[in-house]
Protein backbone atom coordinates (compact mmCIF):
# COMPACT_ATOMS: atom_id res chain seq x y z
CA UNK A 1 0.00 0.00 0.00
CA UNK A 2 1.34 3.41 -0.95
CA UNK A 3 1.69 6.28 1.43
CA UNK A 4 -0.65 9.24 1.22
CA UNK A 5 0.49 11.61 -1.53
CA UNK A 6 -0.02 14.64 0.70
CA UNK A 7 0.77 13.67 4.31
CA UNK A 8 -0.01 16.29 6.90
CA UNK A 9 3.04 17.99 8.49
CA UNK A 10 3.98 16.24 11.72
CA UNK A 11 5.21 17.64 14.98
CA UNK A 12 8.54 16.29 16.30
CA UNK A 13 6.77 14.41 19.11
CA UNK A 14 4.50 12.62 16.61
CA UNK A 15 7.50 11.76 14.44
CA UNK A 16 9.26 10.25 17.45
CA UNK A 17 6.14 8.24 18.31
CA UNK A 18 5.87 6.97 14.73
CA UNK A 19 9.54 6.01 14.73
CA UNK A 20 9.22 4.14 18.04
CA UNK A 21 6.07 2.31 16.91
CA UNK A 22 7.71 1.37 13.61
CA UNK A 23 10.81 -0.10 15.22
CA UNK A 24 8.73 -1.96 17.82
CA UNK A 25 6.47 -3.46 15.14
CA UNK A 26 9.39 -4.47 12.94
CA UNK A 27 11.20 -6.09 15.90
CA UNK A 28 8.09 -8.04 16.88
CA UNK A 29 7.60 -9.22 13.30
CA UNK A 30 11.19 -10.47 13.14
CA UNK A 31 10.83 -12.24 16.51
CA UNK A 32 7.51 -13.87 15.59
CA UNK A 33 8.79 -15.01 12.21
CA UNK A 34 11.85 -16.58 13.84
CA UNK A 35 9.56 -18.58 16.19
CA UNK A 36 6.93 -19.59 13.61
CA UNK A 37 8.11 -23.21 13.31
CA UNK A 38 8.10 -23.92 17.03
CA UNK A 39 5.31 -26.30 18.05
CA UNK A 40 4.77 -25.00 21.58
CA UNK A 41 4.29 -21.31 22.30
CA UNK A 42 5.83 -19.82 25.42
CA UNK A 43 4.17 -17.12 27.49
CA UNK A 44 6.63 -14.60 26.05
CA UNK A 45 5.70 -15.64 22.52
CA UNK A 46 1.99 -15.29 23.27
CA UNK A 47 2.54 -11.87 24.81
CA UNK A 48 4.61 -10.73 21.83
CA UNK A 49 1.91 -11.91 19.44
CA UNK A 50 -0.77 -10.04 21.40
CA UNK A 51 1.38 -6.87 21.44
CA UNK A 52 2.00 -7.23 17.70
CA UNK A 53 -1.70 -7.26 16.83
CA UNK A 54 -2.50 -4.55 19.40
CA UNK A 55 0.11 -2.18 17.95
CA UNK A 56 -1.21 -2.75 14.42
CA UNK A 57 -4.77 -1.92 15.55
CA UNK A 58 -3.48 1.13 17.42
CA UNK A 59 -1.72 2.48 14.32
CA UNK A 60 -4.82 1.92 12.20
CA UNK A 61 -7.18 3.60 14.65
CA UNK A 62 -4.80 6.55 15.16
CA UNK A 63 -4.20 6.81 11.40
CA UNK A 64 -0.47 6.29 11.76
CA UNK A 65 0.13 5.11 8.20
CA UNK A 66 3.66 6.46 8.17
CA UNK A 67 4.54 4.31 11.18
CA UNK A 68 3.11 1.22 9.46
CA UNK A 69 4.98 1.90 6.24
CA UNK A 70 8.22 2.61 8.09
CA UNK A 71 7.87 -0.67 9.99
CA UNK A 72 7.47 -2.52 6.68
CA UNK A 73 10.57 -0.80 5.28
CA UNK A 74 12.64 -1.64 8.38
CA UNK A 75 11.55 -5.29 8.32
CA UNK A 76 12.24 -5.58 4.59
CA UNK A 77 15.85 -4.48 5.08
CA UNK A 78 16.37 -7.09 7.80
CA UNK A 79 14.23 -10.09 6.87
CA UNK A 80 11.96 -10.45 3.83
CA UNK A 81 9.95 -13.23 5.49
CA UNK A 82 9.31 -11.03 8.52
CA UNK A 83 8.36 -8.20 6.19
CA UNK A 84 5.83 -10.46 4.48
CA UNK A 85 4.40 -11.50 7.87
CA UNK A 86 4.06 -7.88 8.93
CA UNK A 87 2.51 -6.73 5.68
CA UNK A 88 -0.01 -9.58 5.63
CA UNK A 89 -1.13 -8.85 9.20
CA UNK A 90 -1.47 -5.12 8.54
CA UNK A 91 -3.50 -5.81 5.41
CA UNK A 92 -5.77 -8.30 7.19
CA UNK A 93 -6.38 -5.99 10.15
CA UNK A 94 -7.13 -3.02 7.90
CA UNK A 95 -9.56 -4.72 5.50
CA UNK A 96 -11.35 -7.01 7.95
CA UNK A 97 -12.89 -6.01 11.30
CA UNK A 98 -14.85 -8.07 13.84
CA UNK A 99 -17.59 -6.31 15.82
CA UNK A 100 -19.05 -7.76 19.01
CA UNK A 101 -22.67 -6.83 19.62
CA UNK A 102 -24.26 -6.34 23.01
CA UNK A 103 -26.23 -9.58 22.56
CA UNK A 104 -22.99 -11.54 22.22
CA UNK A 105 -23.09 -11.99 18.45
CA UNK A 106 -19.86 -11.52 16.54
CA UNK A 107 -20.17 -9.87 13.15
CA UNK A 108 -17.43 -9.49 10.59
CA UNK A 109 -17.12 -6.80 7.92
CA UNK A 110 -14.57 -6.99 5.16
CA UNK A 111 -13.70 -4.86 2.16
CA UNK A 112 -13.52 -6.61 -1.21
CA UNK A 113 -12.75 -5.62 -4.77
CA UNK A 114 -13.52 -7.03 -8.20
CA UNK A 115 -10.79 -5.87 -10.62
CA UNK A 116 -11.90 -5.56 -14.23
CA UNK A 117 -10.50 -4.56 -17.60
CA UNK A 118 -12.72 -2.44 -19.81
CA UNK A 119 -11.95 -2.38 -23.55
CA UNK A 120 -13.69 0.51 -25.30
CA UNK A 121 -13.38 2.95 -28.16
CA UNK A 122 -12.20 6.29 -26.82
CA UNK A 123 -11.79 5.12 -23.23
CA UNK A 124 -14.01 5.49 -20.19
CA UNK A 125 -15.25 8.91 -19.12
CA UNK A 126 -15.82 9.74 -15.46
CA UNK A 127 -18.97 11.78 -16.08
CA UNK A 128 -20.71 8.76 -17.66
CA UNK A 129 -19.99 6.27 -14.89
CA UNK A 130 -22.69 4.98 -12.54
CA UNK A 131 -25.47 7.18 -13.89
CA UNK A 132 -27.84 4.21 -14.34
CA UNK A 133 -29.32 3.66 -10.86
CA UNK A 134 -31.33 0.61 -11.90
CA UNK A 135 -28.23 -1.13 -13.28
CA UNK A 136 -26.30 -0.33 -10.10
CA UNK A 137 -29.05 -1.71 -7.84
CA UNK A 138 -29.19 -4.92 -9.87
CA UNK A 139 -25.40 -5.21 -9.79
CA UNK A 140 -25.29 -4.85 -6.00
CA UNK A 141 -28.06 -7.43 -5.53
CA UNK A 142 -26.30 -9.88 -7.85
CA UNK A 143 -23.55 -10.60 -5.29
CA UNK A 144 -26.11 -12.33 -3.07
CA UNK A 145 -28.29 -13.77 -5.84
CA UNK A 146 -25.28 -15.43 -7.51
CA UNK A 147 -24.06 -16.64 -4.08
CA UNK A 148 -20.74 -14.86 -4.28
CA UNK A 149 -21.61 -14.04 -0.69
CA UNK A 150 -23.85 -15.82 1.80
CA UNK A 151 -27.59 -15.21 1.46
CA UNK A 152 -27.52 -14.38 5.19
CA UNK A 153 -24.92 -11.66 4.62
CA UNK A 154 -25.40 -8.01 3.66
CA UNK A 155 -23.48 -6.35 0.85
CA UNK A 156 -22.98 -2.69 0.03
CA UNK A 157 -21.29 -1.62 -3.18
CA UNK A 158 -19.73 1.78 -3.79
CA UNK A 159 -21.34 3.38 -6.87
CA UNK A 160 -17.99 4.18 -8.44
CA UNK A 161 -15.45 2.49 -10.68
CA UNK A 162 -12.14 3.12 -8.96
CA UNK A 163 -9.24 4.25 -11.13
CA UNK A 164 -5.84 2.67 -10.24
CA UNK A 165 -4.64 6.06 -8.95
CA UNK A 166 -7.59 6.21 -6.55
CA UNK A 167 -6.97 2.69 -5.26
CA UNK A 168 -3.27 3.46 -4.75
CA UNK A 169 -4.23 6.51 -2.72
CA UNK A 170 -6.22 4.51 -0.14
CA UNK A 171 -4.04 4.01 2.93
CA UNK A 172 -4.23 1.23 5.48
CA UNK A 173 -6.00 3.42 8.01
CA UNK A 174 -8.42 4.76 5.41
CA UNK A 175 -9.64 1.33 4.26
CA UNK A 176 -10.02 0.43 7.94
CA UNK A 177 -12.15 3.55 8.47
CA UNK A 178 -14.17 2.69 5.35
CA UNK A 179 -14.92 -0.78 6.75
CA UNK A 180 -16.17 0.79 9.97
CA UNK A 181 -18.34 3.26 8.05
CA UNK A 182 -19.80 0.38 6.04
CA UNK A 183 -20.65 -1.42 9.27
CA UNK A 184 -22.48 1.67 10.55
CA UNK A 185 -24.44 2.02 7.31
CA UNK A 186 -25.51 -1.64 7.39
CA UNK A 187 -26.49 -1.78 11.08
CA UNK A 188 -28.16 1.59 11.70
CA UNK A 189 -31.64 2.53 10.58
CA UNK A 190 -30.77 6.15 9.80
CA UNK A 191 -28.32 7.21 7.12
CA UNK A 192 -24.83 7.93 8.46
CA UNK A 193 -21.98 10.01 7.11
CA UNK A 194 -19.16 8.17 5.38
CA UNK A 195 -16.32 10.71 4.95
CA UNK A 196 -13.58 8.09 4.41
CA UNK A 197 -15.56 6.43 1.60
CA UNK A 198 -16.37 9.80 0.03
CA UNK A 199 -12.71 10.86 0.25
CA UNK A 200 -11.60 7.64 -1.46
CA UNK A 201 -13.43 8.69 -4.65
CA UNK A 202 -10.84 11.35 -5.43
CA UNK A 203 -11.48 11.40 -9.18
CA UNK A 204 -9.95 10.05 -12.37
CA UNK A 205 -7.14 11.74 -14.28
CA UNK A 206 -8.06 13.36 -17.58
CA UNK A 207 -8.93 11.00 -20.44
CA UNK A 208 -6.40 11.49 -23.27
CA UNK A 209 -7.76 8.82 -25.63
CA UNK A 210 -8.99 9.90 -29.05
CA UNK A 211 -12.47 8.70 -30.10
CA UNK A 212 -11.00 6.09 -32.46
CA UNK A 213 -8.42 4.79 -29.96
CA UNK A 214 -9.02 1.30 -28.56
CA UNK A 215 -8.39 1.63 -24.83
CA UNK A 216 -7.95 -1.21 -22.32
CA UNK A 217 -8.30 0.22 -18.81
CA UNK A 218 -8.11 -1.23 -15.31
CA UNK A 219 -10.90 -0.37 -12.88
CA UNK A 220 -12.05 -1.76 -9.52
CA UNK A 221 -15.50 -2.36 -8.07
CA UNK A 222 -15.30 -1.89 -4.30
CA UNK A 223 -17.76 -3.33 -1.79
CA UNK A 224 -18.22 -4.45 1.81
CA UNK A 225 -19.74 -7.62 3.25
CA UNK A 226 -21.36 -7.90 6.70
CA UNK A 227 -21.67 -11.51 7.92
CA UNK A 228 -21.83 -13.64 11.03
CA UNK A 229 -18.39 -14.77 12.11
CA UNK A 230 -19.64 -18.37 12.25
CA UNK A 231 -21.55 -18.36 8.94
CA UNK A 232 -21.05 -21.88 7.50
CA UNK A 233 -21.00 -20.46 3.95
CA UNK A 234 -17.46 -19.18 4.58
CA UNK A 235 -16.10 -22.22 6.42
CA UNK A 236 -13.42 -23.90 4.30
CA UNK A 237 -13.33 -27.71 4.77
CA UNK A 238 -10.24 -29.00 6.54
CA UNK A 239 -9.59 -31.94 4.22
CA UNK A 240 -7.58 -30.98 1.13
CA UNK A 241 -9.88 -32.63 -1.42
CA UNK A 242 -12.97 -31.05 0.11
CA UNK A 243 -11.25 -27.66 0.29
CA UNK A 244 -10.30 -27.89 -3.40
CA UNK A 245 -13.90 -28.71 -4.30
CA UNK A 246 -15.13 -25.80 -2.17
CA UNK A 247 -12.94 -23.26 -3.98
CA UNK A 248 -13.66 -24.81 -7.38
CA UNK A 249 -17.41 -24.39 -6.78
CA UNK A 250 -16.94 -20.76 -5.73
CA UNK A 251 -14.83 -20.10 -8.83
CA UNK A 252 -17.55 -21.55 -11.08
CA UNK A 253 -20.18 -19.37 -9.43
CA UNK A 254 -17.98 -16.33 -10.04
CA UNK A 255 -17.50 -17.22 -13.72
CA UNK A 256 -21.26 -17.55 -14.17
CA UNK A 257 -21.81 -14.26 -12.36
CA UNK A 258 -19.22 -12.49 -14.54
CA UNK A 259 -21.02 -13.56 -17.72
CA UNK A 260 -24.41 -12.53 -16.38
CA UNK A 261 -23.46 -9.09 -15.04
CA UNK A 262 -21.20 -7.89 -17.86
CA UNK A 263 -24.13 -6.03 -19.52
CA UNK A 264 -25.00 -4.41 -16.16
CA UNK A 265 -21.41 -3.27 -15.65
CA UNK A 266 -21.37 -1.86 -19.18
CA UNK A 267 -24.49 0.16 -18.32
CA UNK A 268 -22.70 1.40 -15.21
CA UNK A 269 -19.59 2.47 -17.16
CA UNK A 270 -20.99 4.17 -20.29
CA UNK A 271 -24.28 5.83 -21.15
CA UNK A 272 -23.76 6.75 -24.80
CA UNK A 273 -24.39 3.32 -26.34
CA UNK A 274 -20.77 2.39 -26.95
CA UNK A 275 -19.77 -1.27 -26.80
CA UNK A 276 -17.52 -2.17 -23.87
CA UNK A 277 -15.84 -5.55 -23.45
CA UNK A 278 -15.50 -6.46 -19.78
CA UNK A 279 -12.95 -8.98 -18.47
CA UNK A 280 -13.25 -9.66 -14.74
CA UNK A 281 -10.55 -10.85 -12.38
CA UNK A 282 -11.61 -12.91 -9.39
CA UNK A 283 -13.27 -11.20 -6.42
CA UNK A 284 -10.91 -10.96 -3.47
CA UNK A 285 -10.32 -9.02 -0.27
CA UNK A 286 -9.14 -5.45 -0.80
CA UNK A 287 -5.37 -5.87 -0.77
CA UNK A 288 -5.21 -9.24 -2.50
CA UNK A 289 -7.60 -8.11 -5.21
CA UNK A 290 -5.86 -4.82 -5.88
CA UNK A 291 -2.46 -6.57 -6.04
CA UNK A 292 -3.87 -9.08 -8.54
CA UNK A 293 -5.32 -6.27 -10.65
CA UNK A 294 -2.05 -4.36 -10.82
CA UNK A 295 -0.03 -7.52 -11.50
CA UNK A 296 -2.30 -8.43 -14.42
CA UNK A 297 -2.11 -4.87 -15.75
CA UNK A 298 1.71 -4.95 -15.61
CA UNK A 299 1.68 -8.28 -17.45
CA UNK A 300 -0.55 -6.83 -20.18
CA UNK A 301 1.81 -3.87 -20.54
CA UNK A 302 4.77 -6.26 -20.84
CA UNK A 303 2.97 -8.26 -23.52
CA UNK A 304 2.20 -5.09 -25.45
CA UNK A 305 5.83 -3.92 -25.28
CA UNK A 306 7.12 -7.29 -26.49
CA UNK A 307 4.54 -7.49 -29.26
CA UNK A 308 5.39 -3.98 -30.46
CA UNK A 309 9.11 -4.82 -30.37
CA UNK A 310 8.54 -7.80 -32.64
CA UNK A 311 6.39 -5.73 -35.00
CA UNK A 312 9.06 -2.98 -35.18
CA UNK A 313 11.60 -5.55 -36.41
CA UNK A 314 9.13 -7.34 -38.68
CA UNK A 315 9.70 -10.66 -36.95
CA UNK A 316 7.02 -13.23 -36.17
CA UNK A 317 6.91 -14.53 -32.56
CA UNK A 318 7.79 -18.09 -33.61
CA UNK A 319 11.05 -16.75 -35.10
CA UNK A 320 12.20 -15.36 -31.74
CA UNK A 321 13.35 -16.86 -28.45
CA UNK A 322 13.06 -15.41 -24.95
CA UNK A 323 15.26 -15.29 -21.84
CA UNK A 324 13.41 -14.63 -18.57
CA UNK A 325 14.91 -13.91 -15.16
CA UNK A 326 15.11 -11.55 -12.18
CA UNK A 327 17.13 -8.36 -12.16
CA UNK A 328 17.92 -5.67 -9.60
CA UNK A 329 17.38 -2.07 -10.73
CA UNK A 330 18.32 0.57 -8.14
CA UNK A 331 17.56 -1.81 -5.29
CA UNK A 332 14.17 -2.92 -6.63
CA UNK A 333 13.53 -6.39 -8.04
CA UNK A 334 12.06 -6.92 -11.52
CA UNK A 335 11.35 -9.81 -13.86
CA UNK A 336 13.06 -9.10 -17.18
CA UNK A 337 12.20 -10.60 -20.54
CA UNK A 338 14.66 -10.34 -23.42
CA UNK A 339 13.48 -11.35 -26.89
CA UNK A 340 16.17 -12.39 -29.39
CA UNK A 341 15.95 -13.21 -33.08
CA UNK A 342 16.49 -16.89 -33.84
CA UNK A 343 18.49 -16.09 -36.97
CA UNK A 344 21.34 -14.04 -35.45
CA UNK A 345 20.57 -13.86 -31.69
CA UNK A 346 20.24 -10.06 -31.86
CA UNK A 347 18.29 -8.49 -28.99
CA UNK A 348 14.95 -7.32 -30.36
CA UNK A 349 13.21 -5.92 -27.29
CA UNK A 350 13.51 -6.01 -23.52
CA UNK A 351 10.77 -5.46 -20.95
CA UNK A 352 10.64 -5.45 -17.13
CA UNK A 353 7.89 -6.01 -14.60
CA UNK A 354 8.31 -4.98 -10.97
CA UNK A 355 8.14 -7.68 -8.28
CA UNK A 356 6.45 -6.58 -5.06
CA UNK A 357 7.95 -7.55 -1.70
CA UNK A 358 4.98 -9.86 -1.06
CA UNK A 359 5.22 -11.57 -4.46
CA UNK A 360 6.63 -15.03 -5.16
CA UNK A 361 9.52 -14.83 -7.63
CA UNK A 362 8.85 -18.16 -9.35
CA UNK A 363 5.17 -17.31 -9.80
CA UNK A 364 6.13 -14.01 -11.40
CA UNK A 365 8.56 -15.76 -13.76
CA UNK A 366 5.93 -18.34 -14.72
CA UNK A 367 3.41 -15.56 -15.40
CA UNK A 368 5.93 -13.95 -17.77
CA UNK A 369 6.46 -17.29 -19.52
CA UNK A 370 2.69 -17.72 -19.91
CA UNK A 371 2.50 -14.22 -21.40
CA UNK A 372 5.17 -15.16 -23.95
CA UNK A 373 3.16 -18.22 -24.95
CA UNK A 374 0.11 -16.00 -25.39
CA UNK A 375 1.88 -13.80 -27.94
CA UNK A 376 3.25 -16.87 -29.78
CA UNK A 377 6.84 -17.18 -28.54
CA UNK A 378 7.58 -20.90 -28.23
CA UNK A 379 11.27 -21.01 -27.25
CA UNK A 380 11.80 -19.78 -23.66
CA UNK A 381 14.83 -20.05 -21.37
CA UNK A 382 15.31 -19.08 -17.72
CA UNK A 383 18.24 -17.12 -16.35
CA UNK A 384 19.28 -17.31 -12.71
CA UNK A 385 19.55 -13.50 -12.95
CA UNK A 386 20.58 -10.61 -15.16
CA UNK A 387 23.77 -8.94 -13.95
CA UNK A 388 24.43 -5.20 -13.65
CA UNK A 389 25.47 -5.06 -17.33
CA UNK A 390 22.24 -6.73 -18.46
CA UNK A 391 23.84 -10.10 -19.23
CA UNK A 392 21.86 -13.28 -18.53
CA UNK A 393 23.58 -15.58 -16.01
CA UNK A 394 23.22 -19.39 -15.90
CA UNK A 395 20.67 -19.76 -18.71
CA UNK A 396 18.76 -23.03 -19.05
CA UNK A 397 15.66 -24.17 -21.00
CA UNK A 398 12.28 -23.54 -19.38
CA UNK A 399 10.17 -26.62 -18.91
CA UNK A 400 6.58 -26.34 -17.73
Residue 252, Cβ density class (10 Å: 0-12 exposed, 13-18 middle, ≥19 buried): exposed
φ/ψ of residue 29, rounded to 5? -60, -40
Does residue 178 contact residue 172 with C-beta atoms inside 8 Å?
no
- pLDDT tens-place string over residues 263-315: 999 999 999 989 999 999 999 999 999 999 998 999 899 888 998 999 999 99
What is the second-level CATH architecture of the domain 295-397? 3-Layer(aba) Sandwich (3.40)
Q: How many residues belong to the chain? A: 400
Domain ranges of the chain: 12-95, 101-282, 295-397
CA 157 to CA 139: how far, in whole Å?
9
pLDDT-derived band of residue 3, with 50, 70 and 90 as boundaries? very low
- pLDDT tens-place string over residues 218-246: 999 999 999 999 999 999 999 999 999 99
Least confident of 144-153, 355-364, 368-377: 355-364
With b meaning 16 or more CB within 10 Å and e meaning fewer, what string describes 351-363?
bbbebeeebeeee
- pLDDT tens-place string over residues 16-44: 888 999 999 999 999 999 887 765 567 67
Above 60 in pLDDT, residue 5? no
Above 50 in pLDDT, residue 2? no
Query: Which neighbouring-strand residues pair with 47?
Result: none
Calculate what percentage of the chain has a pLDDT beyond 90: 72
- pLDDT tens-place string over residues 159-218: 999 999 999 999 999 999 999 999 999 998 888 889 999 999 999 999 999 989 999 999
Amino acid sequence: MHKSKHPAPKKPVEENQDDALAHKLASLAIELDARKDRVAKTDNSKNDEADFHRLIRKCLQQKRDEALQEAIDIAEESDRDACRLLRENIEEASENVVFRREDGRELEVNAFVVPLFARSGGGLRAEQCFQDEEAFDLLRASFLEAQLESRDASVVLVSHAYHPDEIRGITYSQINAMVREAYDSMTRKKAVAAPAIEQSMSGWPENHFAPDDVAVELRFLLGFTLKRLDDPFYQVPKKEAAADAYFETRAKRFQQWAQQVAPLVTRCLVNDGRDVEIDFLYQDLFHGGTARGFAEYDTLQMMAELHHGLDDHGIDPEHAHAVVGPTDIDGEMFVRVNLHANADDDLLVSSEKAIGTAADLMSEVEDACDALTTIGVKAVSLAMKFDADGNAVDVRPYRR
